[in-house]
Chains A and B, each alone.
Chain A
Amino acid sequence: MVKLIINRLLQGLLTLFLASLIIFGATEILPGDVAEAVLGQNRTEEALATLREQMGLNRPAVQRYGEWLGGMLQGDLGTSLATKRPVADMIESRMWNTLRLTLLAAAFSIPVALGLGLWAAMRAGGALDKSLAMGTLALIAVPEFFIGLILMKIFAVELGWLSSSANTRSYYSFWQNAQALTLPVLTLGFAVLAHMMRMTRASVINIFSSAYMEMAALKGLPKWRLVLRHALPNALSPILTVIALNLSYMVSGVIIVETIFGVPGLTRLLIDGVTLRDIPLIQACAMIFGTVYIVLNLTADILSIMSNPRLRYPK
């Protein structure tokens, strides 16, 4: 099993490496380069040439890639072109906002999704299952911004209970924070919850058709014991995969949520960076997102390996 885990870790590193190549490559294809972006309107050929020389843009791409990667590994995320500040500083303040949002959404959606998914699987075909199916279907079929808008309309506009802006200040009380953050957390959480619930239900039902489930039933065990004692341990692996998949989906959905509710987070930084052609910023943000996703997947895979008794206790 240890060999498998190490293997997986190495694969993850390889993917990270490939991802960094893709990011670097993608920014290379941006028409007009950094020099043009900096000089903006006032560019003349000589000025461009000088600046390029200065910024070292004339060196081969491979070399620049190496420097960039090396810098990344040491914690130097480059300097923003737009603000001239170290990117690391800019990210630090924003990252916490995004992180908080995603963690809260995960904390809310994962237990609910697993619980509902399990419950629905136990009562497959029943009234509860069917209504849950419809409900989750509605949630996943609907664009995320729609959910956000509806929630905003109901709770912020009509009822006025919650705030439609998620801009929190450090001096906010707990309740003020809660007021500001509830809507974005719910929006992000709902979309992911629906996916996770459906996938959990499907994985667990899939396990129900195994021979050992029938055998356990024929021992006279009741339904709850069949599900909790026999099905669940075997469902760990697929469920972990489902969670990882959805967490990364959440990373994607957070962009929309941050936009609707004006959360001053990482994705807004990225969007601004793209608009302004702030290459180092784009590269750093993209790299962070990519790394998070890869690490999440890696963790899920490794946990999956560890929860498989065939691998934990070889013959």
Chain B
Amino acid sequence: MTDTILSITDLDVRGRPPGGTYVPIVTGVSLSVKKGEVLALIGESGSGKSTISLAAMGFARPGCRIFGGQVVLNGRDIMTLAPPERHSLRGREVAYVAQSAAASFNPAIRIGKQVTEAPLWHGTADAATAANTAFELYQKLDLPDPEHIGSRFPHQVSGGQLQRLMAAMAMSCGPDLLILDEPTTALDVTTQIEVLKAFKSIIREQGTAAIYVTHDLSVVAQMADRILVLKDGAVVEAGETDQIIHAPQHAYTKTLMDAVTPKVRPVQAEPKKPEIVLSARNITAGYGATTILRNVSVDVPKGTVVGVIGESGCGKSTLARVIAGLTPTREGETQIEGKTVAPSVGARDKATLRDCQIVFQMADTALNPRMRIRDLLGRPLRFYHSLKGRAQVDRVAELLTLVDLPPEFASRYPGELSGGQKQRVNLARALAADPKVILCDEVTSALDTVVAAGVIALLNDLKDRLGVSFMFISHDLSTVSSFADDVVVLYAGRVMEKGPAAAVFQPPFHPYTKLLLASVPEMRQGWLEGVAQTDEARAASASGVELTAKGCPFANRCIHAMRDLCETTTPPDLVFPDGLTIACHLAPDALPT
């Protein structure tokens, strides 16, 4: 037992909104972490995992309070200490790595000063030693320019680098316990790898114990030795990583694992060629002086789902807005059922507006909090179909049933609904118009895994029943691969690869697609060690995303790049017999497999 760094018993944390009363957030949770061990806390939002991880420091966020329980750190129950003594342990014996490094670094102070602040304050090192430790940490974490990166400001370095710098800041005092609170959730999948690798190596090397909080199960498989599954503030199941992933016992754990397991796609009958219901042709668009999209063309056939995947900054949201008419195009046009439509929403007639509907990512802000559901759904019914009175009420009930919500919800406000329910209402609102195509802009990205799976099932169902087409925009490869018929891969505003899903996810690949596919963590331990070594991964993490006016934007990160050619000339579209199109200068048989 002497190598147990942390032992929490019967934790009781409650929270209250301003002016309200305390409600329980975490009840009766117990856990322990040994030296050098990584314990993962997994659960959906509201499970209390973040709260528990902060309690390991004896800290509760504003609005919350630790009402009971023992937190024994290095043999001492820190809850029995006086607050100043407890506070002095933070940063020294136990350190915290937050979710968003961009928000957690003080924008007005240089990075190096922030990294060395804790050891200097706690007196564990003098200025020279602290600077030296920082330098060594930068090197171990594989940061570029370790000599000078400390003299930069947070806004001058990239997201992935900042996250690693935050790890350096946390490790600067040599803590016994490290708390990682969703550290890679805000990062792109391709950036995530280098960060995960860096975290893992430094934890192993220093022999630090760690608590890793996340909702991403495949990441957990890479990082954790043991897993604690949480729901509604209580422990549902606990065990070794291997057991939880491959042989979950509790029903809830099983549901979680089920939601993340890639589904086998039903084999498509020979590809029919349905008519194209929406066609975006040669779209070039941007905001102000920046051009975000270049020459993007996407076709959506009737009754199918076209998945548009790409990482942050690739312009996928802009594409949706352009098609919906909210953002003007510089060049190119949108066609609905063969007819060109006006580029801006103000110039389109109601029939056109009806045909193409858009659903936004954040259901919280997509529904007017001051309107009841029946008015939110009733307005498009009135606006497009002139439905009033009884007819409107009936149709609203129908719509709610269509999205698997009880008709009683019509009298509620959005604030009374959960995230998944709000997103369903969002969908219902789009359906109210009887559209031909619905643009889904990252509609499941803000939802918990299980809830998201439910929404995806609903979309599939609607597609089959109503024959509505979907353009499903997402950064999440696994979701898209399980659900889309055709796939478009977007990078830095250009289409890299597109075609039937089956064809896109099999060789030959565009170099970027290959990188993307390789970066998605698999649900098995040991995957991380294998992937980070490849040349492709190294080349990709060497530089950041660049929007280029000509040539291939991926050229600066691609190992196959031919310097002069790829940077100056736009790659041609290589068309394959199964409908696959790849934009690359490489010869078809030289493409990565």
- Check if A212 sits within 8 Å of B107, measured CB to CB: yes
CA–CA, A217 to B83, complex, Å? 13
Across the interface, which residues of A come within 8 angstroms of B104, CB to CB? 211-212, 214-215
Contact digits for B83-99, partner A, Cβ 8 Å, 1 yes 0 no: 00001111110011010
Across the interface, which residues of A come within 8 angstroms of B118, CB to CB? 219-221
8 Å CB contact of B96 from A212, A218, A234, A313: A218
Across the interface, which residues of B come within 8 angstroms of A211, CB to CB? 98, 100, 103-104
Is B59 located at the chain interface by the 8 A CB criterion? yes
> In terms of DSSP, what is the predominant structure of the interface of chain A?
helix
- Check if B117 sits within 8 Å of A212, measured CB to CB: no
Contact digits for A196-215, partner B, Cβ 8 Å, 1 yes 0 no: 00000000000001111011
Is A59 located at the chain interface by the 8 A CB criterion? no
Is B105 located at the chain interface by the 8 A CB criterion? yes
Across the interface, which residues of A come within 8 angstroms of B152, CB to CB? 313
Is B121 located at the chain interface by the 8 A CB criterion? yes
Contact digits for B105-122, partner A, Cβ 8 Å, 1 yes 0 no: 111110000000110011
- Chain A residue nearest to B108 (CB atoms) is A233
Known contacts A310-B155, A313-B156; decide if A219 and B103 are in contact (CB<8 Å). Answer: no
CA–CA, A267 to B100, complex, Å? 53
- Check if B155 sits within 8 Å of A218, measured CB to CB: no
Across the interface, which residues of B come within 8 angstroms of A219, CB to CB? 90-91, 95, 117-118, 121, 169
Min CB–CB distance A315 → chain B (angstroms): 5
CA–CA, A219 to B98, complex, Å? 12
Min CB–CB distance A252 → chain B (angstroms): 33
Is B41 located at the chain interface by the 8 A CB criterion? no
CA–CA, A234 to B87, complex, Å? 24
- Check if B103 sits within 8 Å of A221, measured CB to CB: no
- Check if A309 sits within 8 Å of B108, measured CB to CB: yes
Min CB–CB distance A81 → chain B (angstroms): 52
Is A225 located at the chain interface by the 8 A CB criterion? yes
- Check if B87 sits within 8 Å of A309, measured CB to CB: no
Is A216 located at the chain interface by the 8 A CB criterion? yes
| In the complex, chain B residues 59-73 whose Cβ is within 8 Å of any chain A Cβ | 59, 61-62
- Chain A residue nearest to B86 (CB atoms) is A220
Known contacts A220-B88, A220-B89, A220-B122; decide if A215 and B109 are in contact (CB<8 Å). Answer: no
- Chain A residue nearest to B169 (CB atoms) is A219
Min CB–CB distance A136 → chain B (angstroms): 22
- Check if A315 sits within 8 Å of B108, measured CB to CB: no
Min CB–CB distance A206 → chain B (angstroms): 13
Min CB–CB distance A143 → chain B (angstroms): 32
Contact digits for B439-474, partner A, Cβ 8 Å, 1 yes 0 no: 000000000000000000000000000000000000
Is A268 located at the chain interface by the 8 A CB criterion? no
- Check if A220 sits within 8 Å of B106, measured CB to CB: no
CA–CA, A221 to B87, complex, Å? 8
- Check if B156 sits within 8 Å of A216, measured CB to CB: no
CA–CA, A219 to B88, complex, Å? 9
- Check if B121 sits within 8 Å of A221, measured CB to CB: yes
Min CB–CB distance B251 → chain A (angstroms): 36
Is A230 located at the chain interface by the 8 A CB criterion? yes
- Number of chain B residues close to chain A: CB under 8 A: 30
Across the interface, which residues of A come within 8 angstroms of B108, CB to CB? 233-234, 309
8 Å CB contact of B107 from A216, A310, A315: A310
- Check if A313 sits within 8 Å of B109, measured CB to CB: no
Across the interface, which residues of B come within 8 angstroms of A221, CB to CB? 91, 117-118, 121
Min CB–CB distance B563 → chain A (angstroms): 25
- Check if B106 sits within 8 Å of A212, measured CB to CB: yes
Across the interface, which residues of B come within 8 angstroms of A313, CB to CB? 152-153, 155-156
- Check if B90 sits within 8 Å of A225, measured CB to CB: no
- Chain A residue nearest to B104 (CB atoms) is A215
Size bracket of the A interface? 20 to 34
- Check if B88 sits within 8 Å of A212, measured CB to CB: no
CA–CA, A216 to B96, complex, Å? 10
Across the interface, which residues of A come within 8 angstroms of B92, CB to CB? 220
Across the interface, which residues of B come within 8 angstroms of A218, CB to CB? 57, 59, 90-91, 95-96
- Check if A220 sits within 8 Å of B91, measured CB to CB: yes
- Check if A215 sits within 8 Å of B105, measured CB to CB: yes
CA–CA, A259 to B559, complex, Å? 79
Contact digits for A226-246, partner B, Cβ 8 Å, 1 yes 0 no: 000110011000000000000
CA–CA, A65 to B20, complex, Å? 62
Min CB–CB distance A222 → chain B (angstroms): 8
- Chain B residue nearest to A232 (CB atoms) is B108
CA–CA, A68 to B417, complex, Å? 65
CA–CA, A144 to B169, complex, Å? 51
Contact digits for B546-574, partner A, Cβ 8 Å, 1 yes 0 no: 00000000000000000000000000000
Min CB–CB distance A188 → chain B (angstroms): 33
Known contacts A220-B122, A221-B121, A234-B108; decide if A315 and B89 are in contact (CB<8 Å). Answer: no
Across the interface, which residues of A come within 8 angstroms of B98, CB to CB? 211, 214-215
Across the interface, which residues of A come within 8 angstroms of B109, CB to CB? 229-230, 233
- Check if A234 sits within 8 Å of B106, measured CB to CB: yes
Which of B57, B59, B95, B121 gathers most chain A CB within 10 Å?
B121
- Check if A309 sits within 8 Å of B153, measured CB to CB: yes
Across the interface, which residues of B come within 8 angstroms of A310, CB to CB? 107, 153, 155
Min CB–CB distance B589 → chain A (angstroms): 40
- Chain A residue nearest to B88 (CB atoms) is A220
CA–CA, A309 to B87, complex, Å? 30
Across the interface, which residues of B come within 8 angstroms of A212, CB to CB? 103-107
Across the interface, which residues of B come within 8 angstroms of A234, CB to CB? 106-108
Min CB–CB distance B7 → chain A (angstroms): 20
| In the complex, chain A residues 92-116 whose Cβ is within 8 Å of any chain B Cβ | none
8 Å CB contact of A216 from B87, B106, B153: B106
Known contacts A212-B106, A221-B117; decide if A315 and B91 are in contact (CB<8 Å). Answer: no
| In the complex, chain B residues 459-499 whose Cβ is within 8 Å of any chain A Cβ | none
Min CB–CB distance B266 → chain A (angstroms): 44
Across the interface, which residues of A come within 8 angstroms of B121, CB to CB? 219-221, 225
CA–CA, A76 to B153, complex, Å? 50
| In the complex, chain A residues 265-315 whose Cβ is within 8 Å of any chain B Cβ | 309-310, 313, 315
CA–CA, A275 to B98, complex, Å? 65
| In the complex, chain A residues 15-67 whose Cβ is within 8 Å of any chain B Cβ | none
Across the interface, which residues of B come within 8 angstroms of A214, CB to CB? 61, 98, 104
| In the complex, chain B residues 158-172 whose Cβ is within 8 Å of any chain A Cβ | 169
Across the interface, which residues of A come within 8 angstroms of B106, CB to CB? 212, 216, 230, 233-234
Min CB–CB distance A71 → chain B (angstroms): 41
CA–CA, A222 to B156, complex, Å? 28
Known contacts A220-B118, A233-B109; decide if A210 and B155 are in contact (CB<8 Å). Answer: no
Which of A220, A234, A313 gathers most chain B CB within 10 Å?
A220
CA–CA, A250 to B127, complex, Å? 47
Which of A219, A225, A233, A309 gathers most chain B CB within 10 Å?
A219
Min CB–CB distance B181 → chain A (angstroms): 10
CA–CA, A217 to B87, complex, Å? 9
- Chain B residue nearest to A234 (CB atoms) is B108
- Check if A309 sits within 8 Å of B88, measured CB to CB: no
- Check if A220 sits within 8 Å of B90, measured CB to CB: yes
8 Å CB contact of A315 from B90, B122, B155: B155
- Chain A residue nearest to B155 (CB atoms) is A310
Across the interface, which residues of B come within 8 angstroms of A220, CB to CB? 87-92, 118, 121-122
25 A-B residue pairs with Cβ-Cβ distance under 8 Å, sorted by A, are A211-B103, A212-B104, A212-B105, A214-B98, A215-B96, A215-B98, A215-B105, A216-B117, A218-B57, A218-B59, A218-B91, A219-B91, A219-B169, A220-B87, A220-B91, A220-B121, A221-B118, A225-B121, A229-B109, A230-B106, A233-B106, A309-B107, A309-B155, A313-B152, A315-B156
**A218-B90, A219-B95 known, 6 other contacts, Cβ within 8 Å:** A212-B104, A214-B104, A218-B91, A219-B121, A220-B92, A310-B107
Query: Which 7 residue pairs spanning A and B have beta carbons closest together?
Result: A219-B91, A220-B91, A211-B103, A233-B108, A220-B90, A215-B104, A219-B118
| A binding-site residues for B, Cβ under 8 Å | 209-212, 214-222, 225, 229-230, 233-234, 309-310, 313, 315
